[in-house]
Amino acid sequence: MNRRDFLKTAGMGVAASALAACASPEPTETSASSDLPTLDWQMATSWTPALDVLFGTAQKFADRVSALTGGKFKITPRAGGELATATEVLDVVSSGAVPIGHTASYYYIGKSWVMAFGTSLPFGLTASQQNAWLFAGGGLELLQEFYASKFNVIQFPAGNTSAQMGGWFRKEINSVADLQGLKMRIPGLGGQVMSALGVQVQTIPGGEIFQSLETGAIDAAEWVGPYDDEKLGLNKAAGFYYYPGWWEPGPTVEIQINLDEWNKLPAEYQNAIQAAAGEVNVTMAAQYDSVNGEALERLVNSGTVLSAYSDEIMQAARVKAFELYEAKASEDAEFKAIYDQWMIFRARVQKWNFTNEFSLLEFMEANQ
C-alpha cells in the first residue's frame, strides 16, 4: 500500500491496544536488600566469544546484573558448545540443567514455528518495529505465555542485530533459476523460504561456515552482517555479497530463564534481569549499526562485489514467505493465534513508518 492510500484502509483493525502496558511480569515478592542471597549462575549462550558484539552483549548483561546487586548475583556467560551446543540453549534451560541462556529463538522452529516471532520473520518487522510489537503491541505477553506453557521458560528481549544482510554467494545470483539446487547455509524461516525457491538448505554452526564455503561444500551462506561476517572471513570464501537481508529485517536475541529458577529469585534480582535485558537491547543494536558501516566499507574496498537481490528474487521470496505462513496457520492453531495478531500490528506500524520516517529517509537518500 502506498502511503497516499492511507485513508482507504484507515479504519482497519483493533490490534496494538495493549499499548500502555509494556510487558513486565510483576515481581513475585519484595525483599529487603540486606538479606539478598548470593547466586552464581552459569549462562549457556549460542555465541563464540570471537563474535564480540553478540557474546559481548551477554557479558554486558551479566556485568550489569552483578553491579545492580552489589556483586551478589553473578552470571557467567559461557561460549556456545560449553554448556550446550549453539542451538540447544533452550533445551538445557527448559530442563533446568542450566538456569539461564542467551540465544535466538528462531533456532528452535523445529519445536514450533511460533519461535520465529521471537527473532524475526522474512518480510517481517524492522528492529524498531519488533520492539514496538514486543514491548507495546502485546507481542511479548503472547510469547511469554507460549514459552511458559511449552518450555517452562520465561524470556526477555536482550539485543537486536539490526537489519541483516542477504548473504554470501560464490557466484552471481540474478534470478530464481540461479538459485536452483544451490547449497546454502541459512537457518529459520528464511531457510524455509529459500527451500521453497529451490535451494538445498544446510544447517551449519557459525564456526564451520567459513570452511564449508571455502571448500565448496556449500555455495552460499548467511550469518549476520558486514562486521560479524568479516570476522568469520566469509569474504575470503565467496565474492558476492547481497542485500537486503529480507529474511531478517530486525532479529531479536533473548535471555531465557528456567521458570522454576525465575520464581525463586527475589524481586530485586528479577528487576535486575529485566532492566539489564532492556538496556542491552538498545546497546547491541547501536553497536551493530555503528560497526557495520565501517566493515562494509572495508569489504567493498577489498574486492567484495556488493549487489542488490533482483526484483524477481525479492518478489518470489515474498510470495513464498506468505504462502508458508498461511499454510502453517491453517494447520497450527498456536502459530495462527500469534500470526493473526502480528499481521494486524505489522500493517499498522508499517503504515505509520511509511507515512512519516520513511518519507524523510527517502528524501535524505535522494539529497545527500
Site for a second copy in 103-132 (CB under 8 A): 123, 126-129, 131-132
b vs e for 210-231, b when ≥16 Cβ sit within 10 Å of the residue's Cβ? bebbeeeebbbbbbbbbbbbbb
Stretch that binds a second copy, among 29-37, 109-117, 187-195, 229-237 (CB under 8 A): 29-37
The answer to whether the CB of 219 falls within 8 A of the CB of 212 is no
Is residue 196 within the footprint of a second copy (CB under 8 A)?
A: no
Asked if residue 244 has a cis previous peptide bond (ω within 30° of 0), the answer is yes
Site pattern 131..170 for a second copy (x: CB under 8 A) = xxxxxxx------------------------xxxx-----
Is residue 40 within the footprint of a second copy (CB under 8 A)?
A: no
Query: How many chain residues bind a second copy (CB under 8 A)?
Result: 109
Which is nearer to a second copy, 50 or 306 (by Cβ)?
A: 306
HSE-up of residue 42 (Cα within 13 Å, Cβ side): 13
- Contact positions with a second copy (CB under 8 A) in 282-321: 282-283, 285-287, 289-294, 296-297, 300-301, 306, 308, 311, 314-315, 318
- Contact positions with a second copy (CB under 8 A) in 209-248: 225-226, 243-246
b vs e for 59-96, b when ≥16 Cβ sit within 10 Å of the residue's Cβ? bbbbbbbbebbeebbebebbbbeebbebbbbbbbbbee
Is residue 192 within the footprint of a second copy (CB under 8 A)?
A: no
Q: Binder to a second copy among 69, 103, 161, 256 (CB under 8 A)?
A: 69
Is residue 175 within the footprint of a second copy (CB under 8 A)?
A: no
Q: Please give the order of strands across the beta sheet that includes 100-103.
A: 73-78, 39-45, 100-103, 252-258, 153-160
Q: Binder to a second copy among 25, 36, 85, 178 (CB under 8 A)?
A: 36
CB of 46 to a second copy, least distance (A): 20
44: cell is 549457556
